[in-house]
Structure 1
Amino acid sequence: MSGSILVFIEQASGEPQKSGLVALEAARQIQAKWGNGSISTLCLGAGAKGAAEAMLQYGVAKALYSEEASFSQYRAIAYEAAFLKGMESVGATVGIAAATTTGKDFLPRCGVQLDAGQASDIIAVNDDGSLRRPMYAGDVLADVEITSEKKLVTVRTSAFAAAEPTATSGTSEELNGVAVGENAGEITSFEASGGDRPELTEADIVVSGGRALQSEENFEKYIFPLADALGAAVGASRAAVDSGYAPNDWQVGQTGKIVAPNLYVAVGISGAIQHLAGMKDSKTIVAINKDPEAPIYEVADFGLVADLYEAVPELTEKVKAAKAG
């Protein structure tokens, strides 16, 4: 197959995010099976130049970037325009992004403009070059082949290891001439809901709460202190989000975010199949639920059958004491 590959790399303050490095690893495997040419990357927003320069240690041919004001906050139409320009710039026939909220939003828009086929949320690259993706909350695995000239792929961030650095050989290059139309909209305000906590899909530890918390105030009273003691991100089940206890961007599950931290603590979460689909690849799962028959215990490595209102404060204090030495 002719043509190169362009990988979108999410970045924060000039640092490439793990999700982007996972997408790069998938790109390397796709390159090996499909016979594409070089791999290039694209970073957008404040700090993108530093992130692009950091990507050179991963052996990419070109590390494109733009720090224009149009990309200071995420807007689907603006990112779509930049990625299309980036693909044109490097002669890419394959575009890849992590299956994050951002990647899942803008990449399909590119597909419409390119008349490209897309494989979404892939978890493996098979020996024959087909791509494996889960369906029906992971109950079915489908092997798909993209037959269009232009191809787009989103990558499940829990399914591949992050790419390792290789020899530096490429160059960083500013992406100019991106035409962002007025229909891209305008960001009038922006507030990070997680405070100083790690971003949910990038965190090594996640503490998630379920509907058993019963209120937004109880999330703040019980989940926040434990998460902060562990240095964790905060997540939530769909039931908790739908009940208004937590914002939508904290939702873990099939219709939320897919996470695979080293430690996942599920508090008051029964374990619906849709939630398990979003966290079952976590390295260690700890469940706290007063129902000994809760489905969450089927995937948990450690379980505590207890009232969360008693157990969580005690656990929080023990974590603090252990960290204090």
Structure 2
Amino acid sequence: MSKDVFVFIEQRDSELQKVGIELLGEARKLADSLNQDVVAMLLGYNIKSKAEMLIHHGANKVIVVDDEILNEYVTEPYAKAVCAIIKKYDPEIVLYGASSIGRDLAPRLASRIHTGLTADCTALEIDEESKNLLMTRPAFGGNLMATILCENHRPQMATVRPGVMQALKNNPDLKGEIVEEKIPFDKSDMNVVIKEVVKVESKKKDITEADVLVSGGRGIGAPDAFNMLGELADLLGAEVSASRATVDAGWIEKDKQVGQTGKTVRPEVYFALGISGAIQHIAGMEESELIIAINKNEEAGIFGVSDLGIVGDVHAIVPKLIELIKKEKKAKSEL
């Protein structure tokens, strides 16, 4: 009988990725609704030392597959290992991050195990009557939200966008079990040859990792206005993000988009500048701790979720804000 909520824990260079920790928090909620356990699947090379951290973030059990063939992510050996785990333990639910790795791995496993997969979920919930997993994701370009069920096959599987779910706080008092699984890999499992791994250091953070975001919408008027937003962001130690309208217009790159069809963010401070507040955008940022909005239209929907709303022209207000911050920084440096 299928049992427990499994989470694939993504790691890169033996560093646990944030999305896996977030999924453990959500898995904990789902498992509690089912009166079941949370099981983390940790694959890599010389990775066992990271297992205890997963227990501290909500896992009852960690299944570790530690093998040199798993040093770098390659589809076939990773798929073989996770497939073997799923067939042995028969989980009720398996969750993956909707990252480049998760989007590559999860559909291959769904095919091998003959089950369904719901991609890019933004909400997960257990149906009280059927106990099936309700998997919600944007549909039709983000204009609708579709809730999908996998009633007749197990495990129920979903990929979940980074930044959507809330991670549990690290609790060193939590106890759990660490199990090592040995997978019989052979040379044929490495069906590609990695000749070189090229790593490029980026000075900019992913917007899902930023503590402060300065986000621009159609109301900023032109692509050049992002220079102004960038100046404000630099002064605040923030990152620049955007609404879908500006991305669709080609004003800024796609990976800066916040919303149902972009990224979900939870910064400490979110500046919504010239953003009207469409439902799709609000869904991607409404969990921000402090939301500051500037918009000419006093009826703009963004004011409904803002902690501080200013009715006015972004091009009149933001330069004054920049000037004020510069004066404050200069005064402090002279003390």
Normalising by structure 2, we get a TM-score of 0.74
Q: Is the Cα contact below 8 Å between 1:118 and 1:146 reproduced in 2?
A: no
Counterpart selection for 1:149 from 145, 149, 154: 154
Deviation per CA, 1:210-269: give whole Å up to 9, x if none. 233512x432x2222222333333211122112222111111122111223332211222
Q: Which runs of 5+ in 1 are unaligned?
A: none
Q: Distance in 2 between matches of 1:255 and 1:187?
A: 33
Is structure 2 residue 238 aligned with structure 1 residue 232?
Answer: yes
Q: Is the Cα contact below 8 Å between 2:164 and 2:264 reproduced in 1?
A: no
RMSD of aligned alpha carbons: 3.9
Partner of 1:218: 225
Q: Distance in 2 between matches of 1:28 and 1:110?
A: 23
Partner of 1:131: 133
Q: Distance in 2 between matches of 1:249 and 1:60?
A: 34
Distance change (3 Å), C-alpha of 1:13 and 1:81: closer
Q: Distance in 2 between matches of 1:110 and 1:185?
A: 22
Aligned residues: 315
- Secondary structure at 1:279 match in 2: coil
Flag the structure with larger Rg.
2
Letter in 2 for 1:131: L
Distance change (3 Å), C-alpha of 1:254 and 1:168: same
After superposition, where does 1:5-154 map in structure 2 within 5 Å? 5-11=5-11, 15-34=15-34, 36=36, 39-42=39-42, 51-52=50-51, 54-58=53-57, 59-62=59-62, 64=64, 78-79=74-75, 82-89=78-85, 91-92=88-89, 93=91, 94-99=93-98, 103-104=102-103, 106-120=105-119, 121=121, 122-128=123-129, 129-132=131-134, 133=136, 142=147, 144=149, 146-154=151-159
Partner of 2:317: 311
Q: Is the Cα contact below 8 Å between 1:42 and 1:83 reproduced in 2?
A: no
Distance change (3 Å), C-alpha of 1:104 and 1:18: same
Partner of 1:196: 203
Deviation per CA, 1:9-65: give whole Å up to 9, x if none. 3456655344322210222233334455561233569x9666545324344522536
Q: Distance in 2 between matches of 1:234 and 1:66?
A: 39
Q: Is the Cα contact below 8 Å between 1:116 and 1:149 reproduced in 2?
A: yes
Distance change (3 Å), C-alpha of 1:33 and 1:110: same
Partner of 1:296: 302
Letter in 2 for 1:265: F
Normalising by structure 1, we get a TM-score of 0.76
Deviation per CA, 1:76-120: give whole Å up to 9, x if none. xx3575155234246343321244565455423432232112345
Q: Distance in 2 between matches of 1:95 and 1:266?
A: 35
- Secondary structure at 1:226 match in 2: helix
Q: Which runs of 5+ in 2 are unaligned?
A: none
- Secondary structure at 1:19 match in 2: helix
Is structure 2 residue 212 aligned with structure 1 residue 205?
Answer: yes
1:271 Cα deviation after fit: 2.4
Distance change (3 Å), C-alpha of 1:37 and 1:311: closer
Q: Is the Cα contact below 8 Å between 1:6 and 1:87 reproduced in 2?
A: no
Partner of 1:181: 191
Partner of 2:264: 258
Q: Distance in 2 between matches of 1:107 and 1:259?
A: 23
